[in-house]
């Protein structure tokens, strides 16, 4: 076995390269028609009314926090087992992040822990929830929506791990991640190890037209060319010429919000759209590989817990909880199998420790961290490579 086996790997095809080359030869490099096409296709893929392409998943989270009007001091609940951006986006707006522990069976934020937090303070103390589809397993947003309605909370679904994932609602219907039925907004990432790779990139989906219009402005410096939103009325605004409302010069625009340059380029969008066209094939392959892992590790004494059921799971990651995790991690690296840890609990990062969080605050998340290991999971992982991974893990514990 010569080729290194990472925990995740992008797959770039001739089709992808041709799509990017077409943009490079066009009149647009930054935001243009390829972005529009990508947004339309992604909205259709998730079942949402609107999709807004942005520069990366973190930018998507930040814009959502702004569009939902997070202001200094507002408390927002999220999970500690996620990439730090899920929490940081609230901090960017000077909100206050409060972490709730996870369900040990799913690695998702625990509904009962969130209920306990909300019940411990007067209504109005908390303003929102950032719910993460960790590893690709969909959060039951229907249950959280009922809780959010009771307490007047908004919901951001962090679906970076879960395009194509779903849960079943109380009527037995499949609810795709990002469809906007229960969450106010959902966000996705197109980082190279994700299901859809665009180099860097992100997407926001929503069914709320007002939020959509706000996001469109915020990703481009808060600038609009929509004359219905114009606020200037002086002759100076029109260059000294009298203006009839609705008949402004073509060059005129206004900055009506304090926004950012969070645009996605047509180059990235073309790659993302090309990858989206085969996303279902990649998802099927991930579930196939997960089935093989489930069967291989079922009943093994050294496995404390594994990722579990296939139904609805998007399998960005396949995680085992193991004894002697560090020893196995080093053993696999010696064989050029590059496993990874997802994640160090966010509340124990130095930035959040200085805000008062410490070990012991979220014992389930902390115990999970001591044992978790993400093993290789990506569509181009060959069966024989997966067999080598399985055999290498088994042999380590058998020696």
pLDDT tens digits, 207-226: 999 999 999 999 999 999 88
Let me know if residue 92 belongs to a domain.
yes
Find the farthest-apart pair of alpha carbons in the chain and give their distance in angstroms, rounded: 85
Question: What is the end-to-end Cα distance of the chain in Å, rounded?
Answer: 20
Let me know if residue 26 belongs to a domain.
yes
Is the pLDDT score of 233 beyond 70?
Answer: no
The mean pLDDT of the chain is 95
Grouping H, G, I as helix, E, B as strand and the rest as coil, residue 98 is strand
Q: Are residues 104 and 19 in the same domain?
A: yes
pTM of the model: 0.96
Are 297 and 322 in contact by the 8 Å Cβ rule? The answer is: no
Let me know if residue 235 belongs to a domain.
no
Let me know if residue 249 belongs to a domain.
no
Domain boundary among the residues 232, 249, 276 is at 276
Percent of the chain scoring above 70 in pLDDT: 95
Let me know if residue 243 belongs to a domain.
no
For residue 376, the enclosing domain spans: 279-398
Q: Are residues 200 and 127 in the same domain?
A: yes
Q: Are residues 303 and 368 in the same domain?
A: yes
Q: Are residues 48 and 172 in the same domain?
A: yes
Are 44 and 164 in contact by the 8 Å Cβ rule? The answer is: no
Q: Are residues 68 and 160 in the same domain?
A: yes
Is the pLDDT score of 240 beyond 90?
Answer: no
CATH number of the structural domain spanning residue 352: 3.90.1150.10
Cα atoms in the 13 Å half-sphere on the side-chain side of 38: 32
Q: Are residues 82 and 208 in the same domain?
A: yes
pLDDT in tens, 318-329: 999 999 999 999
Q: Are residues 167 and 150 in the same domain?
A: yes
Q: Are residues 346 and 218 in the same domain?
A: no
Q: Are residues 216 and 316 in the same domain?
A: no
Separation CA 263–CA 296 (nearest Å): 44
Is the pLDDT score of 1 beyond 50?
Answer: no
Nearest to 56 by CA among 198, 252, 247: 198
Confidence of residue 245 (pLDDT cuts 50, 70, 90): low
Q: Are residues 268 and 321 in the same domain?
A: no
What are residue 329's phi and psi, to 5 degrees?
Answer: -55, -45
pLDDT of res. 239 = 61
Q: Are residues 131 and 272 in the same domain?
A: yes
pLDDT in tens, 148-181: 999 999 999 999 999 999 999 999 999 999 999 9
Let me know if residue 164 belongs to a domain.
yes
CA distances, 346 to each of 99, 108, 339, 355 (Å): 9, 14, 20, 12
CATH number of the structural domain spanning residue 31: 3.40.640.10
Confidence of residue 57 (pLDDT cuts 50, 70, 90): very high
Separation CA 367–CA 103 (nearest Å): 12
Q: Are residues 271 and 283 in the same domain?
A: no
Let me know if residue 233 belongs to a domain.
no
Domain boundary among the residues 247, 276, 305 is at 276
Number of domains in the chain: 2
Let me know if residue 247 belongs to a domain.
no
Question: What secondary structure letter does DSSP report for 134?
Answer: G
- Residue whose entry in the numeric block shows the structure tokens 């995680």: 319
């Amino acid at each position: 076995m010569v080729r290194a086996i990472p925990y995740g790997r992008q797959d770039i095809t001739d089709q992808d390269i041709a799509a990017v080359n077409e943009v490079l030869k066009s009149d647009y490099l930054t935001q243009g028609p390829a972005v529009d096409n990508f947004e339309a296709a992604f909205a259709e893929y998730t079942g949402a009314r609107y999709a807004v392409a942005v520069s990366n998943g973190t930018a998507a989270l930040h814009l959502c926090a702004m569009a939902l009007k997070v202001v200094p001091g507002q408390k927002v609940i999220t999970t500690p087992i996620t990439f730090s951006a899920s929490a940081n986006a609230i901090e960017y707006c000077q909100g206050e992040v409060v972490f709730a522990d996870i369900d040990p069976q799913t690695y998702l934020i625990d509904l009962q822990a969130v209920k306990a937090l909300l019940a411990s303070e007067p209504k109005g103390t908390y303003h929102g929830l950032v719910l993460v589809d960790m590893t690709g397993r969909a959060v039951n947003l229907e249950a959280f929506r009922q809780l959010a309605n009771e307490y007047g909370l908004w919901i951001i679904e962090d679906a970076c791990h879960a395009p194509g994932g779903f849960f079943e609602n109380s009527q037995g219907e499949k609810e795709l991640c990002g469809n906007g039925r229960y969450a106010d907004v959902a966000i996705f990432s197109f980082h190279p190890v994700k299901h859809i790779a665009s180099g860097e990139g992100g997407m926001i989906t929503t069914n709320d037209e007002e939020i959509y219009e706000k996001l469109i402005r915020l990703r481009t410096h808060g600038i609009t060319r929509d004359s219905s939103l114009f606020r200037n009325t002086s002759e100076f605004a029109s260059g000294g010429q009298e203006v009839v409302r609705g008949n402004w010069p073509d060059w005129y625009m206004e900055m009506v919000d304090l926004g950012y340059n969070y645009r996605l380029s047509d180059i990235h969008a073309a790659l993302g759209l090309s990858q989206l066209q085969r996303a279902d094939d990649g998802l099927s392959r991930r579930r196939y590989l997960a089935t093989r892992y489930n069967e291989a590790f079922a009943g093994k004494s050294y496995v404390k817990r594994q990722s579990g059921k296939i139904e609805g799971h998007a399998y960005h990651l396949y995680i085992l909880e193991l004894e002697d995790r560090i020893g196995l991690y080093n053993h696999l690296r010696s064989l050029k199998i590059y496993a990874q840890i997802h994640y160090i609990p966010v509340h124990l990062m130095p930035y959040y420790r200085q805000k008062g969080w410490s070990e012991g605050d979220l014992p389930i998340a902390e115990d999970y961290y001591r044992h978790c290991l993400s093993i290789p999971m990506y569509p181009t992982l060959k069966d024989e490579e997966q067999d080598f991974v399985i055999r290498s893990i088994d042999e380590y514990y058998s020696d």
